[in-house]
Amino acid sequence: MRIPPRPSAAVVTVTASALLAVSAAGLLAGCSTRPDPAPEQSAPVSRAPGAHSLGAGLSFPMDRYRISDADQRTLELARNVLITECMSRHGLDYTPPAPAGPSGLPPYAHLYGVDDPGHAAVHGYRHPADLEPDAYPRIEQDLSAQERLALYGDPEHTEQTAPAEITHDPEGREPGHAHEGPEPRPAHPSGQSQPSEPATGCWGEARLAINEPGEDWIDPTFIHQLEDEAGHAADEDPRVAGLRREWAGCMARNGYPEARGPLTAVEDLGLTDIMDERAIAAARQDVACKTETGLVARWAAVDAEYQAELIAEHAGLLADYQRQHAERMARARAVLAP
């Protein structure tokens, strides 16, 4: 699936106005060969990312399996407690970065490209997540060699000693090593005996403690894989191909014949600066054409159909995944309990 930056019912939930918004003459420029840099807009300019996103009302069948923001925060807080305790055992005073807060964006803003007329009028094709201070993980503090070894372990040691590797972060965020295989380490320079680092360091040890992956463990990235599979299938659907042609026809009529698809508009138009006057004018017309064609709601409905099919196909695995996630959350809450 197109993750926005693209992580319910059997069909996508959209507002009636979103599905029926197929006429937006007031947003469209005239039929000149090239629109003015700042055409009239019908939506108020807002610097709040996603304030008027056409995707604000979307939900998908796979949403019920996604890790919520609240659960993700609980998992990260529990992981940080375990990391801090582990580092303390090594005589190191370490405070992990605090979890990022909610981004404030609608979850599917920008799913099909720029989709907010107010955002486009100010920021052009820049992704709204780039404007959100909490959209990305906190930057790690500078670490000494000793701290880095204790926190992340020794990659060479991991490769030599770890059993079959789990290749994704158990919280579904980023790749990482997964199995611990501790061996005695040389004494600390002070001469005092130090605990041996797990092969994956305190970071990996904490994730293992919360996830307890066994032979039947289902990596949370499985959810993203199903979304991606559904998205690729929808992209090849004739209905979506027709939507892209409708959008491209609208763009061509309004001075952008090079635009072939909403997900490749920046490349199609040869925009080197996605926030200059030319990019802003194109982005505003892009959103206007999405509104005229009802592209966001109609494309999302096709995506949802394919997601529902995959959910039915993998019902057993998804039930196991939900059970495992409930167990994972219970362990995380136990770590955080007073």
The answer to which of 41-50, 204-213, 245-254, 329-338 has the lowest mean pLDDT is 41-50
Q: Read out DSSP for 283-331?
A: HHHHHHHHHHHTHHHHHHHHHHHHHHHHHHHTHHHHHHHHHHHHHHHHH
Tell me what the mean pLDDT of segment 133-142 comes to: 64
Q: E-strand spans in the chain?
A: none
Cα–Cα distance between 119 and 187 in angstroms, integer? 57
Give the dihedral sign, CA 19/21/23/28: negative
List the domain range (segments joined by +) for residue 248: 16-21+37-336
Amino acid at 281: A
What is the number of structural domains in the chain?
Answer: 1
Within a domain: 30: no
Within a domain: 305: yes
- The candidate with the shortest Cα–Cα distance to 70, out of 107, 102, 108, 103, is 102
Residue with tokens 């501790």: 182
Count of CB atoms within 10 A of residue 73's CB? Answer: 17
Within a domain: 332: yes
- Name residues whose C-beta falls within 8 Å of residue 189's C-beta, 6 or more positions apart in sequence: none
State the DSSP H helix or E strand holding residue 249, giving kind and residue range, or none if neither: helix 238-253
Within a domain: 5: no
Cα–Cα distance between 22 and 69 in angstroms, integer? 33
**Confidence at residue 196, expressed as pLDDT on a 0 to 100 scale:** 55
Within a domain: 6: no
Within a domain: 121: yes
Within a domain: 275: yes
Tell me what the mean pLDDT of segment 148-155 comes to: 87
249-294 pLDDT, tens digit each: 999 999 999 999 999 999 999 999 999 999 999 999 999 999 999 9
Would the pTM of this model clear 0.85, i.e. be above it? no
Within a domain: 268: yes
286-326 pLDDT, tens digit each: 999 999 999 999 999 999 999 999 999 999 999 999 999 99
